[in-house]
Each structure stands twice: as C-alpha cells, then as structure tokens.
C-alpha cells in the first residue's frame, strides 16, 4: 500500500431503483438492497476473476485508520461489455465507488457505480446490455 486517502462520504437509505443488482452466480440476498455506501479511496487490487471480479479499495477513516473494502462485480467479459478495462483499474489510482453493503456489516459491497479521477463512470451492470 503506497498511498492511501479515503473518506466515507455516505451511508444512507438510498435506493437506486433503476439498477438491477442481482449477481448472476449466487443469490444477492446478502447485500442490502435498501442502502448504498460511497467511498473515496485508492485501488488496492482489481481481481479479474470468474464468476465475479472483486475491486479492493483502501479507505482511510476520519481517525486515520485504513480499511480495505471489496466490491463485487461480474466477470471479465461482462465488465468488458460494460466498457471497463484493465487499464482503468490500476493499483494506486484514486476512485470514488458506490455499492450496496453487506447486511452483516463486513466490509464488502455489490459494486453499483465507480467514478475515476478523470470523471469517467464505470457501471458493471451495463455489461448485460445487448448491443
């Protein structure tokens, strides 16, 4: 971990009703569909794996401690269909990411949307669009 800067921006009862968030490999019931969390952080690692990829983000809290959050998304080919490429998610890059958190309080979430430092938005679910 070379550089860490992160802040919890939001943890509220926001429902992004238009976003379908059911993982295609396992039930998504462990994620809280009624809430989203948004963090600014630094990419620790992107795991390009099937059936799901995981984006690990280091988030610095107000007290200075760093927590690693994992954001679950679909596999590499679906992410490519969403326009998300390996060059977008290099370790050390700053990112703002929103997800639906685990109900049990662990530091993992279903990735809903991310915004890169250049302002580009990454939505994994767009990978299921037919085009």
Partner 1 sequence: MTARTMAPLAAIALLAVAAGCAGGDARPASDRQRMIELGRQHPTAAALFEALREQASGGQPLQWGALPDWSGVYTRARGGITYDPDQAPGQPPTARLTPEFEARLAERIRLADQGIEWDPISTCAPPGHPRWLTEPFLREFIVTPDQTWLINEMVNDIRRVYTDGRGHVPEEDRLPLYNGDSVGFWDGDRLIVHTNQLREGIYQRRNPDYTDQVETVEIWQKTDDGLLEVDVWVYDPPALVEPWYTRQSYAKLSDPDLRIRYWHCGENQNNSVFQTDDGATQFQDFTFTEADDANQGDER
Question: Quick check: 69 binds partner 1 (CB under 8 A)?
Answer: yes
Task: Rule CB under 8 A: choose which of 4, 8, 30, 115 binds partner 1.
Answer: 30
Task: Rule CB under 8 A: choose which of 17, 18, 20, 117 binds partner 1.
Answer: 20
Task: Rule CB under 8 A: choose which of 19, 68, 115, 126 binds partner 1.
Answer: 68
Of the two residues 117 and 130, which places its CB atom closer to partner 1 in the complex? Answer: 130
CB 7: neighbour CB atoms within 10 A? Answer: 13
Task: Rule CB under 8 A: choose which of 72, 84, 89, 97 binds partner 1.
Answer: 72
Which residues contact residue 21 at a Cβ distance below 8 angstroms, ignoring those fewer than 6 apart?
28, 31, 33, 100, 110, 112, 125
Question: Which residues contact partner 1 by CB under 8 A?
Answer: 20, 22, 24-27, 29-30, 44, 47, 49-52, 54, 56, 68-70, 72, 75-78, 80-81, 102-104, 106-108, 128, 130-131
């Amino acid at each position: 971990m070379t550089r860490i800067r992160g802040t919890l921006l939001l943890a509220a009862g926001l429902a992004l009703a238009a976003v379908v968030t059911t993982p295609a490999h396992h039930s998504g019931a462990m994620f809280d569909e009624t809430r989203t969390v948004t963090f600014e952080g630094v990419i620790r690692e992107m795991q390009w794996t099937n059936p799901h990829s995981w984006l690990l983000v280091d988030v610095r809290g107000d007290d200075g401690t760093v927590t690693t959050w994992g954001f679950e998304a679909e596999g590499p080919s679906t992410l490519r269909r969403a326009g998300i490429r390996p060059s977008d998610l290099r370790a050390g890059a700053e990112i703002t990411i929103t997800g639906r958190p685990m109900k049990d309080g662990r530091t993992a979430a279903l990735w809903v949307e991310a915004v890169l430092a250049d302002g580009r938005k990454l939505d994994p679910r767009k990978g299921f669009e037919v085009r």
